[in-house]
Amino acid sequence: MLGEDHSLTNDFPEHINTINTLNKSDADFAEKAEQYNKLDKEIRILELDGAPISDEQMHQLKHDRSELKDWLYQRLISAQ
C-alpha cells in the first residue's frame, strides 16, 4: 500500500518499551533507528508524490529500509 507508515513503533507496537529503552541506552540502535525512520519517511513521501525517481532507486531505498529493519528487529529480540 502506498504511503503506509512503517515506523518502528507502528510495525512493532509490542516492543515500544524496548524501543524507547534502547534509544536511550544504545547509541548504535538509536542511530540506526533514526536512520530507519528517516528512510521510511522519505519512501512514504516519494510514494505519495507519485515516486518521482526510477524504479531501481525506489527498490534500493526499500531494500535499505528492509536491511535496517531486520537489524533493528534482531536487536529488539535480543534485548528482551
Tens-digit pLDDT string for the chain (80 aa): 567 888 999 999 999 999 999 999 999 999 999 999 999 999 999 988 877 889 999 999 999 999 999 999 999 999 98
Residue 53 carries which DSSP code? Answer: S
pTM: 0.88
Phi-psi group of 51: left, alpha or beta (phi > 0 → left; psi -120 to 50 → alpha; rest → beta): left
Task: Give 5's contacts (C-beta < 8 A, 6+ positions apart).
Answer: 40, 44
| Residue 5: closest CA among 50, 51, 45 | 45
